[in-house]
Structure 1
Amino acid sequence: MRRPSPVATRSAFPNLKRPSPLIAPKSRTIGAKRVLDVGTKPTNGIRPTVRDDHLRHRPGPRRTSRYVAGNLVCYTRTLTFWVGHEIDGPGNASCRSPLSCDVVGSTPLYERIGDDAALQQVSDCLDTMREIVAKHGGDFIYSKGDDILSLFESPEMALRAVCQISHQLTKGPLSARIGLHFGAVIRARGAIFGDVVNVTARLSTTANPGEVLISQSFCEALSPRSRKGLRLLDKMALKGKQEFFDVYTLWSDDGAPGTQITSHGATTDRRSVLPRQIHLVIRYRDQLRSCRNGESVTIGRSAECDIIVERPWVSRRHAAFTILNGRARLLERSSSGTFVSMGLGHEVFVRREDIIVFGSGVISPGVKSALDEAQLLHYEIVSD
């Protein structure tokens, strides 16, 4: 049979593009496997080749199939490879310690000394932290803005790195908020994932500038000698987590005790005082919702909200009530703002900010509560 000319082939198949020597694979995920569909091309007796060196994981079985499309003999080659994850369990000696550092103080530095000089100082600070991490055996994972995420196999080495970073940053205008945790970590695609990583980030964002917040599991993984350098700070509720965490911090360099927490003139230990248990009830017309600690009630024009207020001046996701650490909060996220009344004659306007609410009151999204078109939502805090 006479081989068709390229012109005849293109006219018979107008949508057929000229193949390139290397076919870029398209991938799809099936269960625990990722499948690469290489595609087809006119072979002229030569099967398509695919570079395998970009696959970082163990190759699986390969399958090549042949079929006829018109006058073309085409081949489809599928490569299957297993997506590898390095998973460390709680009982495994190889559990890891994520370290999250958030550099603070860069904004006023840019305003004070200018962009170029400030950028140089911030870059030097980040480079110094990376050098300290590497010196103590840590793996640098990534840097995003002024944040650095690293991973240590040994909690002892992570603690030494943190101590050196804290000491180093006392010499300049920048400081850091640092979080340390310990537990199961998933490593994949050059990054780390899992609840341990999320908690580490929460500890970092909760810390004050120049402060290190350390989890209970990290403390327990240390040697008795290293634990002496830590002190139990408090029980804390971290954003997005329902349970309370025992949080530790470093003793000051001069060995001075931390700030004492007092109540009614007497020194108390807040670690033994759990936040009071409350729930929040919100009512709008015939809609009634409630939430407890760690839960939230969303308000807005969207059908996805818990309480729907269908008015054009109400944002799709206008605001939310939540309870965290025994306190009720209004999280305002709208464009038009919200008027909040927590007492007779006391109405405040909030927009894109969080406030603590007390007792009972009324909120009016977008317009003052005294206006006829106002949509009033009543809330009440009830002790359990």
Structure 2
Amino acid sequence: MTQIRERTVLFADLRGSTALFETLGNAEATSVVTHTVNRVAQAVSECHGRLIKTLGDGLMAVFDAPRDGVHAAIRMHELLERVAAMGRQHGASSGLRALRMQVALARGEVVEMNGDCFGDAVNVAARLLDHAGDNETLITEEVLLGLPSAQTSRFRSLDLIAVRGRAEPVHVHVLNQAHHGDIAAATQFGEVVQAIEPDGIRLQWMDLDRVFDIESMPIVLGRSVQATYCITDGRVSRSHARIDWHGGSFSVTDLSYNGTFVRFSDDAEIVSLKRGSCTLHGSGVIGLGSPPIDATSPTVRFEVLHFADTEPQGLGLHHPRI
């Protein structure tokens, strides 16, 4: 029987499973991934949703109410954290600690047929996963409008984002929640000094030199003409990375399959981001798709700015343009 109903669609995708296959072998790693997905899927029934299908290392579910879908997303992250905590126990596989999850939700009319679901909301939720960083939950404006005020306050706007296969951009919001693993990764390659909050960030790739203030966030770096900062290089994904302002600092999140790489000085170690995030401080370079050691690779120089300074340092340019 075919029915058309208003639904909140949720897609969740498990990341980091590759490390399990490397350390445990195919058979055991498959068992661990399957167990993890099934464990996370418990959140669907707990939050009054319906599991449509599991997708290898991910799942799809639908909910009548947006708040139930958001509750399920939060619960999924909690359940995954319990699984990852097992990796910290003596004798457990270290690969468990690398598990991360991206969740995306969209709302709209859905065609329900033969136990599956189809429609624009399904496509948007599935493709929105490409824009989510590690342990992030992204929702569309339609989902946000269906939430009670107590829940909407937990989200911040990422503005309009171009979603693959859709002509019109989608207004996206991200769930604010602390991720201890992200904080460690963001600070282990350079000292982050607690000082006066910056006012903006400067980006330079070839002749494209722009300064963005806090109100301009987020900045999407990518090959798409709809990206905030368009880099016309075939090695760059359409939406490759995203720069956010949150908690008094700028951060960059990898959205690509080839990775994003950050180096804070010429002799510093390169931070490799695979769907992860890194706090940006001072100045340095961001490599898109390959480490910034190849002179031909697409590399964006950045400088975190305090507009009270008399002159930006580190990029060799004297007149930033806003």
Deviation at 1:271, TM superposition (A): 5.1
Pairing 1:299-314 to 2, within 5 Å after superposition: none
Amino acid of the structure 1 residue aligned with 2:121: V
- Gap change, CA 1:331 and 1:186, over 3 Å in 2: farther
- Gap change, CA 1:121 and 1:193, over 3 Å in 2: same
Unpaired segments ≥5 residues, structure 2: 85-95, 187-197, 203-210, 237-289, 291-296, 301-322
Equivalent residue for 2:313?
none
| SS across alignment from 2:107 | coil
State whether residues 232 and 248 of structure 1, in contact with CA within 8 Å, keep that contact through their aligned partners in structure 2: yes
State yes or no: 1:87 paired with 2:1: no
- Gap change, CA 1:261 and 1:237, over 3 Å in 2: farther
What RMSD over aligned residues (CA atoms) do the two structures have, in Å? 3.4
- Gap change, CA 1:331 and 1:192, over 3 Å in 2: farther
Deviation at 1:322, TM superposition (A): 6.2
Task: Please give the per-residue CA displacement for 1:305-358, whole angstroms capped at 9, x wherever unaligned.
Answer: xxxxxxxxxxxxxxxx963425345379xxxxxxxxxxxxxxxxx9xxxx9799
- Gap change, CA 1:237 and 1:110, over 3 Å in 2: same
**In proportion to residue count, which structure has more strand?**
1
| SS across alignment from 1:181 | strand
Equivalent residue for 2:133?
208
State yes or no: 1:141 paired with 2:66: no
Equivalent residue for 2:19?
108
Deviation at 1:117, TM superposition (A): 2.8
Equivalent residue for 2:254?
none
State whether residues 158 and 218 of structure 2, in contact with CA within 8 Å, keep that contact through their aligned partners in structure 1: no
State yes or no: 1:119 paired with 2:30: yes
State yes or no: 1:176 paired with 2:122: no
- Gap change, CA 1:261 and 1:103, over 3 Å in 2: farther
Pairing 1:163-312 to 2, within 5 Å after superposition: 163-171=74-82, 172=84, 173=96, 174-253=99-178, 262-264=200-202, 267-270=213-216
Q: Aligned pair count?
A: 201
Deviation at 1:99, TM superposition (A): 0.4
**In proportion to residue count, which structure has more helix?**
2
Amino acid of the structure 1 residue aligned with 2:66: P
Which structure would you say has the larger RCO, counting Cα contacts within 8 Å and 6 or more residues apart?
2
- Gap change, CA 1:125 and 1:186, over 3 Å in 2: same
> Matches of 1:185 and 1:191 in 2, distance apart?
10
Deviation at 1:100, TM superposition (A): 0.1
Deviation at 1:163, TM superposition (A): 0.4
TM-score by length of 2: 0.55
State whether residues 11 and 103 of structure 2, in contact with CA within 8 Å, keep that contact through their aligned partners in structure 1: yes
- Gap change, CA 1:225 and 1:117, over 3 Å in 2: same
| SS across alignment from 1:183 | strand
Task: Please give the per-residue CA displacement for 1:78-107, whole angstroms capped at 9, x wherever unaligned.
Answer: xxxxxx42112xxxxxx2100001111111
- Gap change, CA 1:110 and 1:231, over 3 Å in 2: same
Unpaired segments ≥5 residues, structure 1: 1-83, 89-94, 276-292, 294-320, 333-349, 359-384
Equivalent residue for 1:376?
none
State whether residues 235 and 270 of structure 1, in contact with CA within 8 Å, keep that contact through their aligned partners in structure 2: no
> Matches of 1:325 and 1:263 in 2, distance apart?
17
Task: Please give the per-residue CA displacement for 1:189-248, whole angstroms capped at 9, x wherever unaligned.
Answer: 221001110000011122112111111110011111111121113431111223222211
Q: Once the two structures are aligned, what percentage of the paired residues are identical?
A: 24
- Gap change, CA 1:261 and 1:148, over 3 Å in 2: farther
- Gap change, CA 1:108 and 1:225, over 3 Å in 2: same
